[in-house]
């Protein structure tokens, strides 16, 4: 583990992040995010790595072939998050079956839920992005916000250990989770529709992307869902996944589920 941390530190030690003219307030913002999460990093380089998006590294240093520390930290942070959430749910719901716990966990570690929590920390304004990503609203994109939350969890773990990372997850991810998981955007309508049709011995729903609207960096996908050849709902979303969910929600509404 020490070798990995050393490599991250060395990677950033050879790069100027960023030019003061380019992002004059970024260094100062690092102290603000530490106050927000009530944790002071012993090695600030780890925090910088978690908040430096791959788009910035690849644009600024042309590092297309080098594995981005951000992506690697996101990978480990995802696993740490999954472990802590599983442990907390296991203890919090001693009488729940595995299936119910798995569904609840999937909501908490989802992109939508993590985006809600990232916005609560105003995390978007602390992320270092390429100018192109910044102009296209990258600081508000769910995929970037949720990935950064995972990278941040990893940074805290590498700097302070599993107990500190667990405390962050409990205090800033799991707070009010019982209320939040019932928000409409966190209900998995695709799963609900699928299970309903299976229980009625009907074939799986068919999802078809019928249109892609808007410019390349702000695409809107239009997806239509059919059940037994009957069109049941048409959903729109910034990703195909979101469009699928909206179409499934309308289908569930029609079926009275």
Catalytic residue from among 74, 78, 88, 133: 78
CA distance 203 to 234: 19
CA distance 119 to 169: 15
The set of residues, in sequence order, having a beta carbon less than 8 Å from that of 58 and lying 6+ positions away, is: 64, 68, 130
Catalytic residue from among 150, 159, 224, 246: 150
Main-chain dihedrals φ then ψ at residue 231, nearest 5 degrees:
-70, 125
Strand 230-237's sheet: what is its strand order? Answer: 206-213, 220-227, 230-237
CA distance 141 to 135: 12
Task: Assess whether 206 carries a catalytic annotation.
Answer: no
Task: Assess whether 43 carries a catalytic annotation.
Answer: no
Active-site residue numbers? Answer: 78, 150
């Amino acid at each position: 583990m020490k070798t990995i941390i050393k490599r991250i530190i060395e990677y950033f030690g050879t790069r100027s992040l960023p030019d003061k003219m380019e992002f004059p307030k970024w260094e100062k913002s690092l102290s603000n995010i530490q106050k927000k999460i009530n944790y002071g990093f012993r090695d600030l380089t780890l925090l910088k790595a978690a908040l430096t998006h791959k788009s910035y590294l690849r644009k600024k240093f042309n590092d297309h072939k080098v594995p981005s520390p951000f992506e690697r930290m996101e990978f480990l942070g995802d696993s740490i998050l999954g472990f802590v959430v599983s442990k907390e749910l296991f203890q919090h719901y001693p009488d729940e079956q595995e299936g119910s716990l798995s569904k609840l966990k999937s909501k908490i570690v989802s992109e939508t839920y993590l985006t809600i929590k990232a916005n609560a920390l105003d995390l978007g304004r602390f992320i270092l992005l390429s100018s192109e990503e910044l102009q296209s609203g990258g600081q508000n994109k769910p995929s970037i916000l949720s990935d950064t939350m995972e990278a941040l969890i990893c940074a805290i773990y590498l700097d302070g250990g599993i107990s500190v990372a667990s405390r962050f997850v409990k205090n800033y991810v799991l707070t009010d989770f019982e209320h939040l998981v019932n928000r409409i955007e966190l209900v998995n309508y695709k799963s609900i529709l699928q299970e309903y049709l299976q229980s009625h011995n009907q074939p799986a729903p068919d999802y078809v992307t019928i249109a892609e609207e808007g410019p390349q960096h702000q695409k809107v996908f239009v997806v239509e869902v059919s059940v037994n050849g009957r069109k049941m709902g048409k959903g729109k979303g910034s990703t195909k996944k979101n469009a699928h969910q909206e179409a499934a929600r309308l289908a569930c509404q029609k079926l009275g589920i």
